[in-house]
Structure 1
Amino acid sequence: MSTCYEDLASELNRIDELMVKSESDFRNLLDNVHPRQYKNAVNLLHYLTLRNIDIRALQDALHSAGLSSLASSESHIRGQVIAISQRLGIEKTRPDDVFSFETGKLSLAQKSATLFGTKEYTNIPYIMVTFDTTMAEDYDKVKNLVLSGMNIARINCAHDQEEIWLRMIRHVKRATEETGIGCKVYMDLAGPKIRTLTRDKKKVDVKEGDRLWLADQQHMDEGKKTIGCTVPGIAEQVKPGHRVLFDDGLIEAFVEKTEHDRIRIKILRISSGKPYIKHEKGINFPDSSLSIPALTDFDKKCLPFIVKNADLLGYSFVKQPTDLLELRELLQDNQALGLIIKIETPEAVKNLPALLFCGMKQERLGIMIARGDLAVEIGFERMSEIQEEILWICEAAHVPVIWATQVLESLNKSGVATRSEVTDASHAAMADCVMINKGEFMIRTMETLKDILLRSGGHHLKKRYTFRPLAIARRFIGT
């Protein structure tokens, strides 16, 4: 063996030893996952171990030698390291509990099928459609959606009530029986609502450079230009310099100072032709760690209905493993219900490995990249990078991913797609499921989406990535 190949073999052996060592270092996590998630959890741990180090030079050397550079090997990462070593003439056997390319691919497909059910097109992601209130009274529309390729019907518990939800679900069940086409029911917990409050529900005119006050409902000052906030004690949870974003980031402000029970903010940017803040619009505090429970009292009241009627449960505003443990206790270890963890905050991104290991106590687990709130929280310029990192890490865990929010949004609302959203939709082929929102042109949007996914689905695995260390992995492995 040449010196070059000896160096490659030595480095691969070092990486393999680190992967094996990680199993003992994190034994407490592995021992607590569901038995059917164990091998997947081990593969996730191996991948995080690899992404804790910089292997770009090794990748270049492997590529130059005509060998796999470890890119696109998330589903079977240690198996790939062993396979390359074997190519270099090293006598090393892949253990039975380590995934190969074939078994890793099969495991991913089985996890998706277990979570989302069957589908007509096996080479494109599942399609999830968000229902609006009218679906409760329009069986024909529901049936047409099923016939057009809807695999999962999404009901958002932030809207309507149980009577409406039940009619929607009955329409889905009837459509599946009549057509013979499977369709799962997914229900989203509403989660905490961080909203504006304005006096008499009137809009508050603002312009760039304006200063105004922000306070919780209890401390809205009648004599000041004040915006209320639904978060109790908000003044105690933010600091000067922290950003405050209104209406999905269309208006940006920052905290100048806190004063007793209120905050003085300065408007920095208005990216809208409507320069005012309205009642019950969303507020984001991307730099602040808010003490808000992921599960609200309303969510807890919804759980019995969801457990009885839904196939999948979407958990909003998850930030840390304790949020999952609280839900798990309320569900009383219900393994029949598939759990979807929604990633929509910076904390959830940072804690993704820990959330996955905790979530893998559940047999059926998925992740939703809730790109609307997440983009506002982390910044639109980081969204492309972060959503790819989430996809890689979840593929290593064999956890199916839902690509959500604003997919073909213009087409769905106006009947005409923009160039940029078509490109965005093609990237959705990297996920296991794609969600479209409610809109006037749902059927046309679904047909267009299927066409885009069919055209692009065979290409996304061909790209070669280099593995710089992932901050997410370093935070987890380094602890």
Structure 2
Amino acid sequence: MVTTKKIILDPYKDILKQILAEVVDLRQKIETKANQRLQKYTGKFKSGYFSDSAGNLAHYLAMRQFDLRHLQDRLAQAGLSSLGRAEASVLSTMDSLIDILKRATEKHYLPDEKKTSKYGFNLGRQLLKQHTIDLFGPSPEQGRAHVMVTLPTEASLDYLLVSSLLEKGMTCARINCAHDDPVIWEGMIKNIRRAEIETRCSCRILMDLAGHKIRTGPVELGPSIHHIRVQKDLTGKVVAPGYLILTSNPESRSIDSTLFRVPIPKLLHNELVPGMHLGFMSNQDKSRYLKVEKALSETDWLVSCDKTAYLVPGCAVTLTTKHQSDNQTSDNQFTLGEFTGEPLDIRVFKNQLLLLTNGNINGKPAEQDENILIHPAQIGCTLSSLIEKLKVGQSVWIDDGKLGAVVEAVTEQGALLRVTVAKAGGVRIQSDKGINFPEAEFNLPALTQKDLIDLDFICVHADLVGFSFVETLADMECLMSELTKRKASKLPIIAKIETNRAVKNLPDIILGTIGRHNLGIMIARGDLAVELGSARLAEIQEEILWLCEAAHVPVIWATQVLESITKKGTRSRPEFTDAAMAVRAECVMLNKGPYILDAIGALVSVMVRMHEHQRKKFSRLRALHW
């Protein structure tokens, strides 16, 4: 029996010995490569001391230089740890594996406590948890991720909306400095702080620097006429009226920027009450009525029209008030103020030309004469100096990738693009839409003049500062320096990873920052999808999660999470699958929308359910290319 048993065990022991030799050799190589990488950052840390998180990230990056999939399979077959969950504590995982293999293969093996990694298995998880608390506050109930919500303009005036967001589960509010102004931001912040006290819910405030967001320029305006559009069903029956705003102060900020505003005399404004009607003759000589719905502010009234109409400046309107006590009506006539026309419709199709011009030149549709192209459609670029740096063959994407093109030529007029991606019905190009140049490097300054001004406000009011379009460690150094100047060196930075260059430099950005400054990473999937392509994004978002877990850096999963619910109130099965994946991050961001409260409820429900099923993930360790 003894002989038979020995024959069975020896081949198995030989296999374990081979694996042990590989793992020991791998550990040695990892330490060597990690130390070499860390030497690059010695000058960044005056004490010469690297944090445990920096060391672990260096070890993880060194490990991921090797393709370990074959080793993983053999370890799994032997019933051992396959290193697929080693991110948070690389050396501890390997030391534990080596210890088990030696116990199985060396008869007189005694573990050497001095050589055992002092790091420990649980320290990595504890560090990530503590860093998450430092950024977002105490962990939400049931162990779920934090919920961040981008605040709309009306959050500055609507306290009930803000308090409802906190009660539903928002633990971090995002204010985008690319929109609104300090007056609006201050109103948002006051409502958040008040809601924190009254709801007893904690909420951190992230303020995003606008950065060098390259956008389309203004579009040439059409005739001074406004088309009031109603919604109709398939039979042509009106199911929803058209809306617009009557304002006594056109220079004031509108609470709803999506609606057209028409100036009216203050005398008329003072007469209006809900339920009144304003009669007018449409530009097509058809009788129409505007119904006064409600007051939006001290200067703005929301009105509706139940029929299609064309409104022109100087149009006469008759105010009619019907009294319930009798059948008398009182009529007063007023004149509408001046307003501009709507932007022209610029629509381009696949294989057509588009001229990208100086941002000061208004965009306009193509000019044709009997199917002969006289001038291609054109649109301006807000950072015009970039156009001359473009090269033939480079790709250009507009409006979150809805339109794709390549540069055919660069002339004095601008960059001539050939449209390569557009839906069958063409793509309408509007102003203030993002433009991406994935293959071009412009080496823009880290912070714009607007960013520096906004930073003064952020340092006083925010809990976190979002760094848009950060691409290098030098960019991080610049922001850290500006925070120090403002005596806000402890204000945590959320580095938004949204370009191809930022992805390539992510290890450098993290290693050069952690241990010096509180850091979080946002995976800005919208811009990344344009920069990298959707297929590449799918794997990159995974790799970013791995890297950040190894560095114990909290991650924000952002862009288009439950977008259908947020914007339209409808539910999409693929979006729920996406939301389920998002729970591996420490924070999930929702964009603003009319159904945001429903979206928060749905997201929290998904996260609570998924928390019972998984923590982070299991990964296959092919070689990475950082």
Q: 1:334 to 1:27 in 2, by over 3 A?
A: farther
Deviating more after overlay: 107-116 vs 271-280: 271-280
Structure 2 residue matching 1:62: 3-state secondary structure: helix
* Partners of 1:318 and 1:82 in 2: CA distance: 36
Indicate conservation of the 8 Å contact 1:217/1:230, yes or no. Answer: yes
* Partners of 1:360 and 1:257 in 2: CA distance: 43
Indicate conservation of the 8 Å contact 1:30/1:42, yes or no. Answer: no
Indicate conservation of the 8 Å contact 2:210/2:451, yes or no. Answer: yes
CA distances 1:54-73 after superposition (whole Å, capped 9, x unpaired): 11111111111110000022
Letter in 1 for 2:70: A
Q: 1:162 to 1:151 in 2, by over 3 A?
A: same
* Partners of 2:147 and 2:203 in 1: CA distance: 10
Give 1:369 deviation, angstroms: 0.3
Structure 1 residue matching 2:88: 3-state secondary structure: helix
* Partners of 2:121 and 2:618 in 1: CA distance: 16
Q: 1:264 to 1:162 in 2, by over 3 A?
A: same
**Identical-pair percentage:** 39
Give the aligned partner of residue 347 of structure 2: 205
Structure 2 residue matching 1:181: 3-state secondary structure: coil
* Partners of 1:96 and 1:128 in 2: CA distance: 40
Give the aligned partner of residue 84 of structure 2: 71
Residue 29 of structure 1, aligned match among 41, 47, 52 = 41
Superposed, 1:174-213 pairs within 5 Å as 174-198=194-218, 200=220, 202-213=344-355
Give the aligned partner of residue 386 of structure 1: 540
Structure 2 residue matching 1:359: 3-state secondary structure: coil
Structure 2 residue matching 1:248: 3-state secondary structure: coil
Indicate conservation of the 8 Å contact 2:349/2:427, yes or no. Answer: yes
Residue 6 of structure 1, aligned match among 7, 12, 17 = 17
Structure 2 residue matching 1:205: 3-state secondary structure: strand
CA distances 1:217-255 after superposition (whole Å, capped 9, x unpaired): 368899843322122333332222211111111111111
* Partners of 1:324 and 1:96 in 2: CA distance: 35
Residue 164 (1) aligns with residue 318 (2):
no
Q: 1:109 to 1:122 in 2, by over 3 A?
A: farther
Q: 1:441 to 1:95 in 2, by over 3 A?
A: farther
Give 1:175 deviation, angstroms: 1.2
Letter in 2 for 1:62: L
Structure 2 residue matching 1:440: 3-state secondary structure: coil
Residue 54 (1) aligns with residue 67 (2):
yes
Residue 117 of structure 1, aligned match among 129, 133, 137 = 137
Higher strand share: 2
Give 1:200 deviation, angstroms: 2.3
RMSD: 2.3
Letter in 1 for 2:35: S
Give the aligned partner of residue 343 of structure 1: 497
Q: Structure 1: which 5+ residue stretches go unaligned?
A: 473-479
Indicate conservation of the 8 Å contact 1:76/1:98, yes or no. Answer: no
Superposed, 1:62-461 pairs within 5 Å as 62-89=75-102, 91-93=111-113, 98-198=118-218, 200=220, 202-217=344-359, 224-225=375-376, 226-260=378-412, 262-271=414-423, 273=425, 275-332=427-484, 334-461=488-615
Give 1:389 deviation, angstroms: 0.3
Structure 2 residue matching 1:403: 3-state secondary structure: strand
CA distances 1:145-178 after superposition (whole Å, capped 9, x unpaired): 1111111011111111111111111111111122
TM norm structure 2? 0.72
Give 1:320 deviation, angstroms: 0.8
* Partners of 2:119 and 2:600 in 1: CA distance: 35
Deviating more after overlay: 61-70 vs 270-279: 270-279
Give the aligned partner of residue 289 of structure 2: none
Letter in 2 for 1:149: G
Give the aligned partner of residue 328 of structure 2: none
Q: 1:15 to 1:58 in 2, by over 3 A?
A: same
* Partners of 2:591 and 2:362 in 1: CA distance: 35
Letter in 2 for 1:363: H
* Partners of 2:595 and 2:118 in 1: CA distance: 46
**Structure with greater contact order relative to length (CA < 8 Å, sep ≥ 6):** 1
Q: 1:389 to 1:224 in 2, by over 3 A?
A: same
* Partners of 1:395 and 1:37 in 2: CA distance: 17
CA distances 1:99-141 after superposition (whole Å, capped 9, x unpaired): 3332221111111111110133252110111101100111121
* Partners of 1:431 and 1:11 in 2: CA distance: 33
Equivalent residues, number: 472
Indicate conservation of the 8 Å contact 2:156/2:184, yes or no. Answer: yes
Give 1:24 deviation, angstroms: 3.2
TM norm structure 1? 0.93
Indicate conservation of the 8 Å contact 1:235/1:261, yes or no. Answer: no
Give 1:261 deviation, angstroms: 5.8
Structure 2 residue matching 1:68: 3-state secondary structure: coil
CA distances 1:318-356 after superposition (whole Å, capped 9, x unpaired): 111111111111111734211100000000111110010
Higher helix share: 1
Q: 1:462 to 1:368 in 2, by over 3 A?
A: closer
Residue 620 of structure 2, aligned match among 466, 470, 476 = 466
Letter in 1 for 2:405: A
* Partners of 1:389 and 1:88 in 2: CA distance: 29
Deviating more after overlay: 278-287 vs 106-115: 278-287
Deviating more after overlay: 254-263 vs 176-185: 254-263
Structure 2 residue matching 1:227: 3-state secondary structure: strand
Indicate conservation of the 8 Å contact 2:216/2:433, yes or no. Answer: yes
* Partners of 1:116 and 1:463 in 2: CA distance: 22
* Partners of 2:35 and 2:90 in 1: CA distance: 18
Indicate conservation of the 8 Å contact 1:44/1:397, yes or no. Answer: yes
Indicate conservation of the 8 Å contact 1:39/1:97, yes or no. Answer: no
Q: 1:331 to 1:14 in 2, by over 3 A?
A: same
* Partners of 1:15 and 1:346 in 2: CA distance: 30
Structure 2 residue matching 1:249: 3-state secondary structure: coil
Indicate conservation of the 8 Å contact 1:34/1:360, yes or no. Answer: no
* Partners of 2:355 and 2:431 in 1: CA distance: 15
Give the aligned partner of residue 31 of structure 2: 20
Letter in 2 for 1:409: E
Letter in 2 for 1:4: I
Structure number with greater Rg is: 2
Give the aligned partner of residue 477 of structure 1: none
